[in-house]
Structure 1
């Protein structure tokens, strides 16, 4: 068995335009592994740099995270609590900032080994996934987090003073933001299932009763708080995302049927 594989040779860091038909060349297994090493090196380097930058400006990031908690005073209940919480903030922020670059490096590594149709599919799906993830973070920060926090503040305002541990608050807000961002990936999962012909758009629409029940459960699971308003908002968003994804799959199915019909003529 030959140790040669078909692959594109460049392993550059800077974006470039590639003509896959003209640039495909035989690449040895050692060269293939060398490119993988370079991609991993740049990805890890980007992650480390991002974490360091976030650590330097961690106070600014902390103030941004505290913004939804209006009127709350944060306390440090243990020695070094704020310090270790700051390290977590910087690490999560660094991962978030460097993730587009890391995904870009992964795509550059696997793209030349794909077929033309696979390339046409993977790029739009990846970009859409990143956009939806960012929209989920923004939505969680701007709407869901304030709604949840206001519920907790107002619920016990006549009984207790709102003094919170920053570390516990940070863990709460991070879970809330990332849960919302993950929920926004639902249309991507649906589109992939539709493209793989696992589930059709009509089937996705026909099970709407189960979807409503499932969205209620998902809203309760993904929401780190127990207030009904936040869970209702999350469940509603899951429903909108689901039926939006089902609509896209219906369009894909319709386009596929038209292509099949034209090929028979």
Structure 2
């Protein structure tokens, strides 16, 4: 009789544990409340940031005008400067508040992830933000002046360089954003390597195509006749690619060491 009671109690233990775990889990209402709170704080900070950028938009505009030295901007339509400056302020507000928004998203999805997924997610997100900032800096201090100098000098003896205010800022914002995305190459490689889609061995084996592709991309992103500018951009792309392949190799090696241990 005693043995039967012990066996029955052992059978009930897993059910009691699972019951307590289910009680500890958040309900659907609690999940929705958490989403509402995080969305509220994210949208509030975004709105405050955009308003602050609108109030200081002249300084932002002057900062974005720096790469185009010696150019006079024209307002070709009523309200062109007003609407273009609002667009610049909104884009800048999104950029400044994006780390906080990403942080709120991570806090929401983090409890439902495993320890291994957390170890992969956090470095990927932090590295993505850092590389995007580096891409913006590279585009602002190097690529934008090179591209603008090419467009200014090309045909300067035929036409006077007077540019539309709105079209210039669309050009500079797209250039900076595309350069920031180009710096996401190592992040994409790490994600593909973590998902076992591409291995580091395959990434290193296509080095000939990488050199050719980086040369073509460097020529496209730097529309300048200066070969030094093109070589510099191509070298950056190659460093990013092989750096990403090296990170994938280190991840694979650490995983193999863990499995061996």
Alignment of 1:149 with 2:148, yes or no, is yes
User: Structure 1 residue 233: deviation in Å?
Assistant: 4.5
2: distance between equivalents of 1:40 and 1:217? 42
Q: Secondary structure of the equivalent of 2:138?
A: helix
**1:98 paired residue number:** 97
1: distance between equivalents of 2:211 and 2:169? 31
2: distance between equivalents of 1:102 and 1:184? 21
Contact 1:180 1:234 in 2 (8 A): no
Contact 1:201 1:246 in 2 (8 A): yes
2: distance between equivalents of 1:228 and 1:260? 52
2: distance between equivalents of 1:47 and 1:233? 36
Matches within 5 A, 1:112-191: 112-191=111-190
Contact 1:50 1:98 in 2 (8 A): yes
**1:83 paired residue number:** 82
1: distance between equivalents of 2:141 and 2:48? 28
TM-score by length of structure 1 reads 0.84
TM-score by length of structure 2 reads 0.85
Bigger share in helix = 2
**2:238 paired residue number:** 239
Q: Secondary structure of the equivalent of 1:160?
A: coil
1: distance between equivalents of 2:223 and 2:147? 9
Task: Flag structure 2 segments of 5+ consecutive residues without an equivalent.
Answer: 1-18
User: Structure 1 residue 232: deviation in Å?
Assistant: 5.2
Which is higher, the Rg of structure 1 or of structure 2?
A: 2
1: distance between equivalents of 2:42 and 2:53? 16
2: distance between equivalents of 1:25 and 1:141? 50
CA RMSD, Structure 1 to Structure 2 (Å): 2.2
Task: Flag structure 1 segments of 5+ consecutive residues without an equivalent.
Answer: 8-23
Matches within 5 A, 1:188-199: 188-199=187-198
Q: Secondary structure of the equivalent of 2:68?
A: coil
Q: Secondary structure of the equivalent of 1:164?
A: strand
User: Structure 1 residue 217: deviation in Å?
Assistant: 4.7
**1:202 paired residue number:** 201
Shifted more, 54-63 versus 158-167: the winner is 158-167
Alignment of 1:250 with 2:243, yes or no, is no
User: Structure 1 residue 57: deviation in Å?
Assistant: 0.4
User: Structure 1 residue 258: deviation in Å?
Assistant: 2.8
User: Structure 1 residue 44: deviation in Å?
Assistant: 1.1
2: distance between equivalents of 1:117 and 1:82? 50
Q: Secondary structure of the equivalent of 1:74?
A: strand
User: Structure 1 residue 85: deviation in Å?
Assistant: 0.4
User: Structure 1 residue 156: deviation in Å?
Assistant: 2.2
2: distance between equivalents of 1:168 and 1:237? 28
Shifted more, 93-102 versus 225-234: the winner is 225-234
| CA-to-aligned-CA distance 1:59-82 (integer Å, 9 cap, x gap) | 000000000111111111111111
Contact 1:144 1:233 in 2 (8 A): no
